[in-house]
Structure 1
Amino acid sequence: MYKNQPELMKKFIYLGITIASFISPKAFAQTQELRGAWIATVINLDWPSRGSTTEKQQKELLFIFDRLQISGINTIFFQIRCEADAFYQSDYEPWSYYLTGKQGQAPEPFWDPIIFAKQEAHKRGMELHLWLNPYRVIRSISSTYPKDSTHLSVRHPTWMMPVKNTLLLNPGIPDARSYFTQLIAQLALKYQPDGIHLDDYFYPYEGMTNEDAATFEKYGAGKTIHEWREDNINLMVKDVSYLLSTEFPTIKWGISPFGIWKSGTPAGIVGLSGASVTYGNALKWLSEKWVDYIAPQLYWAIGGSQDFKSLSNWWSLQLNGRHLYPGIAAYKAEPSMTSLASLYKADEIPKQIEHLRDRQIPGWILFRAANISQTATQGLPGSLANDMNKYLSLTPSMHWKSQQKPVAVKSGNIVLQQNGYLVKWQKSLAASENDVLPRFYGLYEIPKDSLLQNEKPKLTNDKLIRITSDTFIHLPLKTDRDKSEFFITAISPNSIQSEPFQLTRQVTSIRELNNLTLTLEDPFPNPSDGELNLSYNIIKDQEVSINIYSLTGHHLATLLNRKKYEKGEYSLCFNLNSLPKPGMYLIILEGKWDRIIKKWVSY
C-alpha cells in the first residue's frame, strides 16, 4: 500500500497472494512503449477450450484480454497458424483442430476469431498482431490427429520435409515459399491487422542432416548447403517484407528469433547458436531493413552465461534503425510451470523491464498470456498494473512509416450521470483519400490549474486515462473530476496523435456529487471464470462492507465486513471459484451512508 498523490491514497489489496512492488523512476521512463504478450493456441496452451461452444471460447478470449488490459499490455500477439492450419476463415488452409476439435471443421455457430479478437482488442486500446508459425506442418508425427483433405501435408506431399518426429514445409522449394507469401497477402488484405509476426521455427532446433539433400541438389547450385539454407529463409523474409512494405505499409511486421545469435556473441554468452541451427540470421534482416522490429527470445535471468542484460544490450546495437522488443519469460516466474532451479525471483521480470527502459529499448513481449494472472507468477500482474505499467502508453512510432496526423475529433462532450461520467465524441471522418483515419482515440484528463491560457495542453502519459477504438467511455465518479478538463486525440496506426479536442461539459440534474460518500466501479472482468476485481472510491472516512448475494437475495459470501477505511481509492482482487457456476450475482458495497449494487456473472 502506498500513496500516489498527497491528498489521495490509492491502495491495492490482493487477497490470498502477495503482491510485490518494485517502484523506481525508471519504471515510467518510456513515453511510447510496446508492452506485449503472446497468446499461444498450439496445443491450446493459452486458448481456447478445444471443441467447446462459440460462446465459451469468446468468453475465454475476453477474459484473457481483460487480464492483459489490467496489466497494462497494449499489444497482443495472437497465434492464428500453428500447424499449417487456420484460426480464421482461410482460402488456403483448414480450420484448426485446436479450435473445433476436428481439423477442417468450421465453428458452429460460425465466428471468425480474428474479426472478433481485433474488434475486442481495439475496444481495450490494444493492437492485434497476427502470429504465424511459418514452416511447421505437423508438430508430432507419431502423435497427431486426422488431417483434412485441404491440409498441406495432403495437398502438397512433395513440399514436405520430415525431420525426426516433425513434419516441416521445405524452405528450399520456391513454390512453397510463394505459397506462404500468398497466405500472408490474404491475411493482410482481408483483416488489415495491426501487425504480422513470425516465430522462430525455421529449420528445426533438432538440427539437420541430409533431409533436404535432394532439394539442395535441385536448387542449391553455387552455394554450400549452409549458405543455401540461410538464403532460403532470407528469401522468404525478403518476399514478405516487400509485400507488406509496398502493399500494406501501415502493417507492422517482425520476427521473434532465438535469443542467442551465435554462442560467444557477445563475449561470455554460451548456448545454442540460433542463426547457425535454425538458419534464421536476424542480423541480415536488420542490415537490409526487411523487418520493422526484432523480438529475440531472451528467456534467461540477469547474470550468468546467458545474461539478459548482456544479450539485450548486444541486440540493441544491431538494429540499423529498427526496433527491438525482447521476449521475456513470464512462465519462469510461475512455480507450477518451471523447475525450482530455473524459477525467477519475484523481482526478476520488473528488473528486466527496468533495464530495457534504462537502455531506451522501446518495448518487450511476455511469454505467455496464461502466466499473467492475478493468482500466480508471484504477483507479476500486480507489479505490472500498479508499478511498471502504472501509466498507459502508446506503442512506439516508427520513423520509416507515415508521420501524418490523423483526422482530429471535431465534437464531443462529457455528461455527469448518476453512476459516473459518459464521455462521447464524434468519429473522425476523412475529407479526402489522403486523410489518415484513426485506429484509436486517447482520452486525457488534465487539471484545470495546469492549463495555461492560449497554450496547447501537455499530453503526458500520466494524464492519459483511456485508449479505445470506441467513441464513448464511461468514467467513475471522483470528487476532483470537476476540477479537470478532458481532451480527445485521434491516434494513427503509427501512434501519431492529432491535435487535441477539448470536450464540452454537460451537467445533468442529479444528486450533488459532493454528497456522495463512496462509489463502486463495475466488476472486472465481467463475465469471469471466478476472478473478481473491484475498484471503489471512499470519499468520506467510514466502515465498509462488501457482500455477494444471489438474484433471489440469498447471501453467498462476505468479502469485507465493516472494515474501516480512510478517504482514498482502493482495489481488491478475489478468487471466487467456490461460488456455483454458471451464475449471476449481486455485489453490494455498503457504507455508513450509501449502498451500491452491481451485477456480476461467473461462468
Structure 2
Amino acid sequence: MVFRFLLLLLFTGYFLHAQDLLPKREFRSVWIASVSNIDWPTSKNLTPAQQRAEFISILDKHALNKINCVVVQIRPSCDAFYQSSIEPWSEWLTGTQGTPPNPFYDPLTFMIEETHKRGMEFHAWFNPYRAVMSSSASVHSTHVSKKHPDWVRSYGQYKWLDPGLPQVRDYSLSVITDVIKRYDIDGVHFDDYFYPYPIAGTDFPDDSTFIRYPRGFTNKSDWRRDNINIFLQSVYDTIRCMRKHVKFGISPFGIWRNQSTDPLGSATSGFQAYDQQFADSRKWVQMGWLDYIAPQVYWNIGYAPAKYEVLVPWWANNSFQRHLYIGMAAYKINSSTQDTLWFNPTQMPTQLRLNRNTPNVRGQIFFSSKSITNNPLGFQDSLRQKLFKYPALIPEMPWLDSIAPNEPASVSTVKDSTRITISWSTPPAASDGDLPYYYLVYKFPNQDSVDFSDLKYLYKRLKSDSLKLVDSRPAGSQNEVIYGLTALDRLHNETDPIIIRVDLTRMDKEPVDVKQIRLYENYPNPFYVTTTIEYYLPRPSQVKIEIVNLLGEVMQVPVNGESAAGRHSVEISAASPSGPLAPGIYFYRLKAGNSMLSGKMIILK
C-alpha cells in the first residue's frame, strides 16, 4: 500500500507542470450507454419530452466539460434507438421492444442534431453480436432471434448471434450500412463484446458452424479470430465506400496478450482478449481496419496484474499510425473494490496526464457519462477548472483526408462606436471537393499573445452557414483588437489563419477588406521634415518601400525585408543622411508579393 501511494505521488509530481499545457488537439469523449438505462434514458418509462430534456441536459453538461465527442449506444442488443425497417424499437427506450415512441419522434435524428449544435461529433455505438440480454423483459416478433433462431446461440444468460455464420456478418453489416446511409453520424463504434467473455468449463456452442464453414481452418480459435477479422474488414471497407468523413473505432478489452504468452504482448498477467475473446485487436490497427482504437485500460496506476502505466505505453507502441484513445474507468472513481487508490482524488487526473505525456496517445473516452456528471471526488470540477479548461480540436486523420478547405473569402471588417463586425463568404471547394464545415474565430488581447496553438484564445466556433461575427467594441483606450479566422472541414483540417487587426483609432466609412494589402496616405501631408507611412499586410510578406522623385529615381528605401502580418508604420525623414529630400513632390510605392501600391507626398520649404 505504501509503495503504491508513493508511486502515485511520483506520477503526480512528475506531471505537475505538464498539467497546464493543454493540447490544441485532443479527443475528449464519453460513452453514453443505453443498455439497462445506464446513462440515457434513465428509465424505460420516460415520455419523449422527458427523454429529449435528459439528453439535452447531458450534452449541456459535457459542453461545459469541453467534451468534443459523444459515443452513444444506439443498438444494444439487436434493437434500435432509431426508426428502422430491420430491427425493432429498443425496450430500453419505450419499455417494450418493438413499441415506437409516443408521441413519435426519431431519437437518433434528434440526438445527432443536438450534438452537432454544440460542436461535438456523434459516434454511433453498435453491439454487433449481442442479441438478447438476461434483463430483457420483452422480445418482439420481428427481432432477429425470432426471425432467425438458427443464427442464435445461447451462452450463459445471454443470446448471441453466431459470428461464424456469413448470414450474421451480412445482417449486422446491413444494420450499420442502413444507419450510415440515413443518418449524419461522424463515427461507427464497437465496444469489447465480440465472442462473449468465457464461462468456466463451458465453450461457446459453435461446433456445427465450424464444421459447416471451416474456410480451411483446423484450429477453432484461429477460425474464430478470422470470423471477427472478416467482419471488421468488411465494415471498414463499406464505410470507406459510403462516407469519407465517417470514422470506425473499437474499444477492446485492455489487454491484447500478456508478454508471458507472446513476446509482442504487454508486461501484464491478466485476461487475454486474443485468446479468450478471439479479438486480435493489435492486428486490427496493424492492418488499417480501424481509424481509432480505444482500449479499455480500466485499472489504476500500480495495479500489479495490469498496470495503467504499463498498458498505455504498450498500446502507444502498437497503434501503427492509427489514433489511440484510452478508455478510462471513470465509473471506478470513489467506488471500486478493486484497489483503494480509486478513492484517491488524484488517481484519474494523474492517469489523464500520463496519457498526454505518452507519444501517440491522442485522447481518451470515459466510461461512462454519468460517472463524469456525478462529479465523483470532484473530478468533473477538475476537468472544468484545469484538465479540460479550454476546448480542444479533434485530431486530424490524414489517411482519410489531409487537405484543408480553402480559406474564407472576401473577409472584411467594419466598426462603429459599439460593435466590430467581421464578415466573410464561402470559398470555392478545395481540391478534394470539400467546403468549410465550420469556422473558428480567435481573439487576442495584444500582439504578444498571438498564438494559434493555444485554444484559450478561441473565441467562437461558427457553423458553415454563419458568415459573420459581431463583437462588442472594447471600452477604454485600447487602440487595436486582433482576431484570427480559420476554416475547417468535416475531418478538422484547418486552414492557415487570416489575421485580422482592427484599428480602433479610425472610424470606417465602409467595410475594410482584411485580405487586401493596403497602403494608407502619409500623415502629415504636406510636411516639412518628417511624415509617417502606414501599410497593412494580411499575411507575412517580403516588403519594399521606395521614395521616388518625379524623374522616377529612387531616393530612399526605408523598408526592404520580411514584414509580419498586420499594420505597420514607417517614419520618412526629408533630412535622412541616406537620402536627403529637397522640397517638392515625391511618390512612395509599396511592393509586397505580387502587389504594388503607391501614394503622393509633398515636402514644403
Q: State the TM-score bracket (shorter-chain normalisation).
A: 0.7 to 0.9
C-alpha distance in 2, partners of 1:200/1:127?
21
2:241 to 231, 246, 264: 246
Give the SS at the match of 1:77. strand
Matching residue of 2:214: 220
Query: In the alignment, residue 192 of structure 2 is paired with which amino acid?
Result: D
C-alpha distance in 2, partners of 1:108/1:415?
51
1:93 to 68, 87, 93: 87
TM-superposed deviation, 1:417? 11
CA separation of 1:150/1:388 partners in 2, compared to 1, >3 Å: closer, same or farther?
same
Greater mean deviation of Cα atoms: 125-134 or 400-409: 400-409
Matching residue of 2:441: 443
Establish whether residue 271 from structure 1 lines up as the match of residue 264 from structure 2: no
CA separation of 1:249/1:286 partners in 2, compared to 1, >3 Å: closer, same or farther?
same
Query: In the alignment, residue 326 of structure 2 is paired with which amino acid?
Result: P
TM-superposed deviation, 1:486? 2.9
Matching residue of 2:255: 260
Query: In the alignment, residue 213 of structure 2 is paired with which amino acid?
Result: Y
Give the SS at the match of 1:349. helix
Aligned runs of 1:516-555 on 2, under 5 Å? none
Matching residue of 1:307: 307
- Report if the CA contact (8 A) 1:131-1:198 is conserved: yes
Establish whether residue 149 from structure 1 lines up as the match of residue 147 from structure 2: no
CA separation of 1:414/1:370 partners in 2, compared to 1, >3 Å: closer, same or farther?
farther
Structure number with greater CO (CA < 8 Å, separation at least 6) is 1
Query: In the alignment, residue 428 of structure 1 is paired with which amino acid?
Result: T
Aligned runs of 1:160-199 on 2, under 5 Å? 160-199=152-191
Matching residue of 2:197: 205
Query: In the alignment, residue 171 of structure 1 is paired with which amino acid?
Result: P
Matching residue of 2:125: 131
CA separation of 1:128/1:413 partners in 2, compared to 1, >3 Å: closer, same or farther?
farther
Any unmatched runs of 5+ in structure 2?
1-14, 505-605
Matching residue of 2:332: 332
Give the SS at the match of 1:364. strand
CA separation of 1:160/1:494 partners in 2, compared to 1, >3 Å: closer, same or farther?
same
- Report if the CA contact (8 A) 1:194-1:252 is conserved: yes
Instruction: After superposition, give the CA deviation of every residue in 1:59-91 in whole Å (9 maximum; x if it has no partner).
Output: 111111111111121111111110101111123
Aligned runs of 1:473-512 on 2, under 5 Å? 484-501=481-498
- Report if the CA contact (8 A) 2:248-2:292 is conserved: yes
1:50 to 44, 50, 64: 44
C-alpha distance in 1, partners of 2:50/2:421?
31
- Report if the CA contact (8 A) 1:198-1:255 is conserved: yes
Greater mean deviation of Cα atoms: 168-177 or 459-468: 459-468
Matching residue of 1:231: 226
TM-superposed deviation, 1:23? 5.5
Give the SS at the match of 1:231. helix
Matching residue of 2:601: none
Matching residue of 1:574: none
- Report if the CA contact (8 A) 2:91-2:98 is conserved: yes
Using structure 2 for the length normalisation, give the TM-score: 0.72
- Report if the CA contact (8 A) 2:44-2:92 is conserved: yes
Instruction: After superposition, give the CA deviation of every residue in 1:221-265 in whole Å (9 maximum; x if it has no partner).
Output: 532111111111010111011111233222111110000112346
Query: In the alignment, residue 244 of structure 1 is paired with which amino acid?
Result: I
C-alpha distance in 1, partners of 2:421/2:320?
42
Matching residue of 1:402: 401
Query: In the alignment, residue 188 of structure 1 is paired with which amino acid?
Result: I
Greater mean deviation of Cα atoms: 260-269 or 45-54: 260-269
TM-superposed deviation, 1:451? 7.8
Q: Rg: which structure is higher?
A: 2
Aligned runs of 1:344-359 on 2, under 5 Å? 344-359=343-358
TM-superposed deviation, 1:129? 0.8
Give the SS at the match of 1:343. helix
C-alpha distance in 2, partners of 1:230/1:441?
44
Greater mean deviation of Cα atoms: 47-56 or 348-357: 47-56
C-alpha distance in 1, partners of 2:122/2:115?
6
Matching residue of 2:284: 285
Matching residue of 1:40: 33
CA separation of 1:474/1:193 partners in 2, compared to 1, >3 Å: closer, same or farther?
farther
Matching residue of 2:390: 391
Instruction: After superposition, give the CA deviation of every residue in 1:486-529 in whole Å (9 maximum; x if it has no partner).
Output: 3332221221113445679799xxxxxxxxxxxxxxxxxxxxxx
TM-superposed deviation, 1:302? 0.7
Greater mean deviation of Cα atoms: 128-137 or 337-346: 337-346
Equivalenced residue count is 476
TM-superposed deviation, 1:381? 1.0
CA separation of 1:412/1:381 partners in 2, compared to 1, >3 Å: closer, same or farther?
farther
CA separation of 1:165/1:42 partners in 2, compared to 1, >3 Å: closer, same or farther?
same
Matching residue of 2:77: 83
CA separation of 1:412/1:383 partners in 2, compared to 1, >3 Å: closer, same or farther?
farther
Matching residue of 2:108: 114
Aligned runs of 1:366-445 on 2, under 5 Å? 366-373=366-373, 376-410=375-409, 411=411, 428=426, 434-445=432-443
CA separation of 1:206/1:460 partners in 2, compared to 1, >3 Å: closer, same or farther?
same
TM-superposed deviation, 1:430? 5.2
Give the SS at the match of 1:144. coil
Give the SS at the match of 2:342. coil
TM-superposed deviation, 1:267? 5.5
- Report if the CA contact (8 A) 1:28-1:388 is conserved: no
Any unmatched runs of 5+ in structure 1?
1-21, 508-603
Matching residue of 1:579: none
The sequence identity of aligned pairs, in percent, is: 33
- Report if the CA contact (8 A) 1:255-1:295 is conserved: yes
Establish whether residue 24 from structure 1 lines up as the match of residue 17 from structure 2: yes
- Alpha-carbon RMSD: 3.0
Query: In the alignment, residue 100 of structure 1 is paired with which amino acid?
Result: T
- Report if the CA contact (8 A) 2:300-2:342 is conserved: no
TM-superposed deviation, 1:325? 0.5
Matching residue of 2:320: 320
Using structure 1 for the length normalisation, give the TM-score: 0.73
Query: In the alignment, residue 53 of structure 2 is paired with which amino acid?
Result: K
C-alpha distance in 2, partners of 1:502/1:156?
61
Greater mean deviation of Cα atoms: 143-152 or 173-182: 143-152
- Report if the CA contact (8 A) 1:40-1:78 is conserved: yes
C-alpha distance in 2, partners of 1:96/1:267?
39
